Chains A and B, each alone.
Chain A
């Protein structure tokens, strides 16, 4: 009898063929519609911001991996590109290239690689970087150029436009109601916010529709689950509805809060970051509600007009705790005791 040798390896011998690479580049692709809208609204400035951010994040990741003697090809797994794109999308179109580079260093080196790279960072790198920039460079980070179609306005929602160098800048819708609540409210249509082309703001947050198209893709590909975004958005909606009913003159209506600012991009693309969010479904709901509450508190009563970044980062820090208290019941436990 003739025998033959074979290759041996551990079970299972088949794999779903999923990979980090596929997941991350799918997230990247899901942000493309929002990126296109931003280029339409802000032109080449948007291309510059996003391009510099993505490329510098990938280059820094390569440098960091080489420095630590790790496989530098992991820089192309898509996670650095996603961080770069998310960081870019949270910045104003007029931001200087130098500040973007500082942001990339904070995101990739300080928020990610120092902790051990992908999978080990406690805080979302793009958000950490954005909040760092907001505190370090408050001026440039809150200078909002006028998007296409609004070039000739004198004021936006009651806030006068300002000439800053070559550009004319104004407030975001959330900034406007913070400064000028009563006058501002009637002058913006939820429609405009939803389509987003005619509102100032961070380049990626202006079109809720484009973001939702990307989010639908992620849900369809089962890359994210509904738990975190739905919990976050419903919480914001519920609280803002309540405050609006109590005092419509003082507080904007719930739809305004949904589509103005970074709630959509935050809830679907940042809060759902695997590494920094709770892992069990029950935990995800708690986490989402927490983000919603913190966001609306900061928006309505805090010092900053927008609170999504802070809310997500604060909730990032609660992730280990939430995970600990939401472990599901293993098969056969407890329930078995009540039988028989």
Chain B
């Protein structure tokens, strides 16, 4: 194995992957009810095409795409549409969702796979992926068919599978690479074919040796597995590209600007299932983990399943469960209730205990420079944090920091993680981003 590659900056949090990394994916029982939000993706919300009391089957289209950058939604269980009403959404705001009550029969619609996909033309594949409602399952939820349709003038040189899974605790991608090796690799190869690319890289952090060896065997001569150093945020798209190809994606640009397209592991599996089996995206694998649940593990669930129902199936909370995070501990979002559906972009559910809560006051910056060392984008969080704290937005504009730093900061939280003054850097940046967004809107 060659020396593991990486990017500059980053942090080494406790990974805590052992809680679930050896647990095989378990299929969760059929939920009694699901709530399927109309926007589980970046872009325009889907438009419902069913109404109350309609009978639906699993896999049936219930909301169609609402624009070029959008994705359809499919029923994940068979049953009756109970309502189309706002529910708690993992991203905070309440949004409209189609609520389906199970009839317990779990009838599926008939699937229409593509015949001989590797011989089919690219548009057929793209349409199939679009129909299946596939979005980036790593959390960004960018519609995959759009990613597969780069503008004519952009030459794509590499397709990269993001098997880094750098978020602590999460093991979804790890398990998929181990258990669904063939399907994932086939989906990846198909994506590369649609893009007309023959260079395939698979980036995996070295803390997943079983995934590395299985993927190496499966991809063979068609691609290359690149072992990556265990460092957060190694799985950030732009950091991953720079580690593997040495190319730096300019701020505010998409990776295709440097000739790279990156796919998440779960997304490749979904592409495989959509094209080879004709199955729309209505299931996914999530890691339910943390010291606040009795039995951490990896579960295959129907989309729209409530977190509460999954936790109950897994064995329930421990008594000291205090915080529920959708996603990992670095970038995940703490939610106020478990009465919240799991959507396409939910890769992990982390339950933290009372003793893991951080309650601290922050103080003035002491200029230790640890945030600068940690920033994967080589920014200066220190200065920006102080300017935002003092509400010197004029100064931020004058120094053009909003273009250089704010636009490209993806809120990985590395600066906040290392800050000895416990300064809430990520929240500062969010504050400044919304300030500048409002200003742009007013103009």
Contacts and interface: CB of A to CB of B under 8 A. Distances in A.
A262 to B, nearest CB: 23
Contacts of A327: 380
Given A16-B11, A18-B370, A330-B377, A74 B334 contact: no
Interface in B374-407: 376-380, 382, 404-405
B436 to A, nearest CB: 17
Interface SS, B side = loop
Interface in B220-268: 238, 242, 247-251, 253, 257-259
Contacts of B251: 330-333
Given A1-B33, A2-B308, A331-B238, A14 B330 contact: yes
Interface in A1-59: 1-16, 18-20, 22-23
Interface of B: 8, 11, 13-14, 32-33, 168, 238, 242, 247-251, 253, 257-259, 306, 308-309, 312, 317, 321-325, 329-339, 350, 352, 356-358, 360-361, 363-370, 372, 376-380, 382, 404-405, 408, 411, 413, 416-422, 424, 426-427, 430
Interface stretch (A160-168, A200-208, A250-258, A274-282): A274-282
B345 to A, nearest CB: 15
14 contacts: A3-B306, A5-B337, A6-B334, A6-B335, A8-B336, A11-B426, A13-B356, A16-B13, A16-B417, A18-B418, A20-B366, A23-B366, A279-B369, A335-B248
B433 to A, nearest CB: 13
B331 A12 contact: yes
B172 to A, nearest CB: 18
B308 A119 contact: no
B214 to A, nearest CB: 30
Given A22-B420, A332-B251, A13 B358 contact: yes
Contacts of B250: 332-333, 336-337
B339 A1 contact: yes
Contact of A331 (B329, B365, B376, B427): B376
Given A3-B338, A13-B352, A339-B247, A328 B421 contact: no
A328 B379 CA distance: 8
Contact of B322 (A7, A77, A116, A332): A7
B334 A339 contact: no
B249 A8 contact: no
Contacts of B424: 10
A22 to B, nearest CB: 7
B438 to A, nearest CB: 20
Nearest to B352: A13
Nearest to A20: B420
Given A1-B32, A5-B336, A11-B333, A274 B13 contact: no
A140 interface: no
Contacts of A191: none
B367 A331 contact: no
Contacts of B426: 10-12
B369 A12 contact: no
B323 A23 contact: no
